[in-house]
Amino acid sequence: MLHNIQQIAPEREKSIVLVGLMGAGKTAIGKRLAGRLNLPFYDSDQEIERAAGMSVAEIFAKHGEPHFRAGEKRVIERLLTRGPIVLATGGGAFMDPETRDIVARRAVSVWLHSPVHILLHRVRGRTHRPLLNSGDPAEILQRLLAVRGPVYALADIIIPGSEDPPDVTTQNVLDKLTTYAEPRRVEVKLSQNSYEVVIGPDLLARAGALMHPVLPQKQVVIITDETLAALHLAKLQASLAQVAIAHDSIIVKPGEASKSLETWGFVVSELLSRKVDRHTTIIALGGGVIGDLAGFAAAATLRGLPFIQIPTTLLAQVDSSVGGKTGINSPHGKNLIGAFHQPRLVLADTAILTTLPIREWRAGYAEIVKAGLIADASLYAWCEANGLAMLNGDAALLAQAVERAVAFKAAVVGDDEREMKPNGGRALLNLGHTFGHALEAETGYGQGLLHGEAVAVGIILATQLSANLGFCPQEDASRIAAHFTAVGLPTRINNLPAEHLLAHMKQDKKMKGGKLTFILTHGIGQAFTHPEVTEEAVRNVLLANGAV
């Protein structure tokens, strides 16, 4: 199954490409960087002049700018194939999408972002700058910055310009390069298309740049809740403004109650009132509730709008944001109204999780454990060895856990995108969910148990049911329960009526022909689908584990 997932690892060594307007200091800084890093230095304009046998100004005058830009792209690509170098580019080079793509694949891009008054001081009187020779230099630089700034902001690193000596700016660039780490990327490969899940810290500040390549037009609507708006909306909006993406926002009440027909209708009405078109992208900024709600609104509005997930809980990052399931709740059960609607991109900012209470971390962790229990015994063993340290704040373990869980789910989704395989595939992701959804329904969605907590109890019940039916060793349930207890997750039902829970299960989407279907296990990492489990067997498990 894992052959359907491609993990995209960062390259071992990359070049450094400096971008920015004329006068930003790209050559001066580039030479110093190259010396400090012991790398070759190249200036793309100088290389072009050497190849053409004439100056940039002469090329512009004789052949025009399009001819120059085509040659510039070829030169930059040739230079970046030589291995790690430091490259200073011309002011217009980064404006070309193909050139940006070449740079993105082979280099870390750095924008030297200097204000116009500094640029003007540095370039005044330089007659070899073709773009400055047609009018007032200050006005031309201001206009160029307005046009090019949002594109330069797509660079990996932005260094604010100042009047500091070049050595100081060089050190600022080196400091940023030292702390810069490319995010982890997991590709979700589907039958008709694919998308990436990007994982790493502080992605929200660069969200605009990261989503820019997948937007059909530079217009988005953010859907979030009141709590998350106060915490994260301003940072997201700033990242969008930086790359000139027009944005609006719709804010709803926090909590599971917002996964309702009423709130969904409100969101759709708001979208239509804002005159969205079929190229307007919906951004879900939130946990599973917002992701499900916004995704279903995107699926239904104008028969389908582009959609991006920015999950803000561990549970959403490792589970609900990946795979395209969207929906809302009904009085008859959880997620009974919805649609499959795949996102174009998922940005899993692990630094966002630091704002969450530990209870939310634990709830998300249950889904990571679930992935191991379904079909990856080594992941479950990793959880037993590292789960507690991860929950205690180890950032490296957190990123590793999210990547492994996402890679697992991406493989399953790629193999069974719309949950059509009756005896496995994507249905296996529902391990613990038939019990868990019943527990949520009985306690009031979001009122008693968090989704991940309900799934944790559900996993114990499903494992115990498997053991009772002779499918797995009896000690599996106690082993998993011991691990859940060690990390602070619940493992038993809290005196809920067994008959009420059974009634909720009979409303489950996995009912077939009136028969209860469960995801059971032959052992750790060996989940399977079992139809027609008897009501008596389920009732016995409920009563033995805290139901009344």
User: Which residue numbers are catalytic?
Assistant: 303, 325, 367, 409, 419, 426, 430, 433, 437, 451
8 Å CB contact between 195 and 323: no
The number of helix segments (H) and strand segments (E) in the chain equals 22, 17
Residue count of the chain: 548
Q: Which of 301, 209, 288, 293 is nearest to 258 (CA)?
A: 293
Half-sphere exposure of 354 (CA within 13 A, CB side): 10
Q: Report residue 35 as tokens.
A: 């010396």
How far, CA to CA in Å, does 531 sit from each of 468, 507, 520?
A: 16, 15, 10
Adjacent-strand bridge partners of 88: 18, 43
Contacts of 313 (CB under 8 A, 6+ apart): 287, 288, 353, 356, 360, 363, 364
Adjacent-strand bridge partners of 340: 325
8 Å CB contact between 265 and 259: no
Q: Which of 208, 111, 126, 124 is nearest to 161 (CA)?
A: 111
Adjacent-strand bridge partners of 158: 111
Adjacent-strand bridge partners of 129: none
| 3-state helix/strand/coil string of 440-464 | HHHHCCCCCCCHHHHHHHHHHHHHH
Contacts of 110 (CB under 8 A, 6+ apart): 16, 17, 18, 19, 155, 156, 157, 158, 159, 173, 176, 177
- Report d(CA 34, CA 83) in Å as an integer: 13
8 Å CB contact between 74 and 83: no
Q: Which of 309, 296, 293 is nearest to 343 (CA)?
A: 309
How far, CA to CA in Å, does 13 sit from each of 83, 148, 201, 273, 339?
A: 8, 28, 21, 49, 42
